[in-house]
């Protein structure tokens, strides 16, 4: 409820608290049980509305709350992703369906280094990458319910330029997309997303599709960046999201059609592994 309070300080401090606490498994479980993601996204939805209506007075305070909320959102998604991926690693290593679960009061390592290490494992370990695609990820139910992909794309699309707070919000939101688009369903949502809302930003009417928003964020050829996204970290992360949407992880590259051959022939050769990568399978391993 503090995230929707009338006090700017209360909402900011609430977002700061979740940013620091959500990586504890016991806190993560309670957060999900209380429909925490819906409440955490309230500041971001409010900023989108303000950006679309062109209200600079309220934006001065709301952008700070949205900044801390986007950081908390990234930590929330990282905690779920690291927990899910490490559980798959333990299961594959121990060859047991019930591997040892992490201690509820021991924090999950959600640092950038830990995330990069697990991403490298997905890129090199074919068994882990296939298990990641085949196994149901409970977070995606919350993501779909809250329309998180379309919200993030609308937020990035509406961002004004020349503003560091908004550039950081874009970066955190793109990092969220980078993690969830490792699974098939969010990729489909991103590609299928189209915007029907208006924006006060010049040229924003041209960016209706999700991929158009990402391509513009990743572009370095625009002399006047649309969102102020000249930040190389933002550009690199947008490119990573695009790569997730258009190609398989390197460890599953052998499933891709060979150059000069029909995709159907490659699918027949790969058979079930290819189907596992292209369509989500909800059965646990």
Query: Is the model's pLDDT at 144 over the cut of 90?
Result: yes
What is the structure's pLDDT at 277?
A: 42
Q: What is the mean pLDDT of the chain?
A: 80
- What is the pTM (predicted TM-score) of this model? 0.82
Partners of residue 209 on adjacent β-strands: 194
Structural contact between residues 223 and 189, judged by C-beta atoms closer than 8 angstroms = no
The closest alpha carbon to 159, from 52, 78, 246, 234, belongs to 52
The closest alpha carbon to 62, from 17, 18, 1, 12, belongs to 12
Tokens of 70: 């986007």
What is the structure's pLDDT at 263?
A: 47
What is the structure's pLDDT at 235?
A: 87
3-state secondary structure 4-33: HCCCHHHHHHHHHHHHHHCCCHHHHHHHHH
Instruction: List Cβ neighbours of 151 (8 Å cut-off, separation of 6 or more).
Output: 41, 44, 45, 48
More reliable by pLDDT, 60 or 240? 240
What average pLDDT does range 156-164 have in this prediction?
A: 76
Q: How do residues 78-95 score in pLDDT, each as one tens digit? A: 999 999 999 999 888 875
Instruction: List Cβ neighbours of 173 (8 Å cut-off, separation of 6 or more).
Output: 70, 73, 74, 152, 155, 156
Tokens of 219: 């572009």
What is the structure's pLDDT at 160?
A: 74
What dihedral angle (degrees, nearest 10) is formed by the CA atoms of 25, 44, 111, 139? Answer: 40
Query: Is the model's pLDDT at 141 over the cut of 50?
Result: yes
Query: Is the model's pLDDT at 27 over the cut of 80?
Result: yes
Lowest mean pLDDT among 116-120, 149-153, 177-181, 281-285: 281-285
CA angle (243, 248, 250) in 5-degree steps: 95
What is the structure's pLDDT at 196?
A: 52
Tokens of 211: 């991929």
**Distance, CA of 258 to chain centre:** 30
What average pLDDT does range 48-54 have in this prediction?
A: 86
What is the structure's pLDDT at 167?
A: 85
Q: How do residues 221-267 score in pLDDT, each as one tens digit? A: 333 444 444 678 888 999 999 999 988 888 887 776 766 554 444 44
Q: Within the chain, where are the H helices?
A: 8-21, 25-33, 36-40, 42-53, 56-94, 112-124, 126-134, 139-145, 148-158, 164-180, 184-192, 210-218, 232-246, 263-270, 272-278
């Amino acid at each position: 409820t503090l995230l929707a309070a009338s006090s700017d300080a209360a909402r900011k401090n609430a977002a700061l608290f979740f940013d620091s606490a959500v990586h504890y498994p016991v806190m993560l479980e309670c957060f999900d049980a209380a429909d925490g993601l819906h409440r955490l996204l309230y500041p971001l939805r409010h900023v989108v509305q303000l950006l679309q209506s062109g209200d600079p007075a309220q934006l001065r305070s709301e952008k700070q709350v949205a900044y801390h909320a986007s950081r908390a959102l990234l930590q929330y998604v990282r905690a779920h992703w690291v927990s899910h991926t490490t559980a798959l690693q333990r299961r594959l290593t121990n060859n047991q369906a019930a591997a040892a679960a992490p201690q509820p009061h021991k924090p999950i390592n959600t640092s950038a280094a830990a995330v990069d290490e697990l991403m490298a494992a997905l890129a090199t370990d074919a068994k882990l990458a296939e298990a990641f695609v085949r196994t149901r990820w409970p977070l995606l139910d919350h993501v779909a319910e809250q329309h998180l992909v379309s919200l993030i794309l609308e937020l990035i699309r509406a961002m004004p330029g020349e503003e560091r707070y908004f550039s950081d919000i874009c970066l955190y939101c793109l990092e969220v997309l980078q993690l969830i688009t490792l699974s098939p369903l969010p990729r489909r949502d991103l590609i299928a997303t189209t915007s029907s809302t208006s924006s006060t930003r010049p040229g924003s009417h041209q960016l209706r599709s999700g991929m158009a928003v990402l391509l513009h964020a990743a572009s370095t050829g625009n002399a006047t960046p649309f969102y102020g996204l000249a930040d190389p970290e933002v550009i690199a992360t947008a490119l990573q999201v695009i790569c997730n949407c258009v190609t398989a992880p390197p460890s599953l590259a052998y499933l891709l059609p060979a150059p000069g051959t029909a995709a159907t022939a490659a699918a027949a050769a790969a058979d079930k592994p290819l189907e596992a990568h292209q369509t989500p399978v909800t059965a646990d391993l």
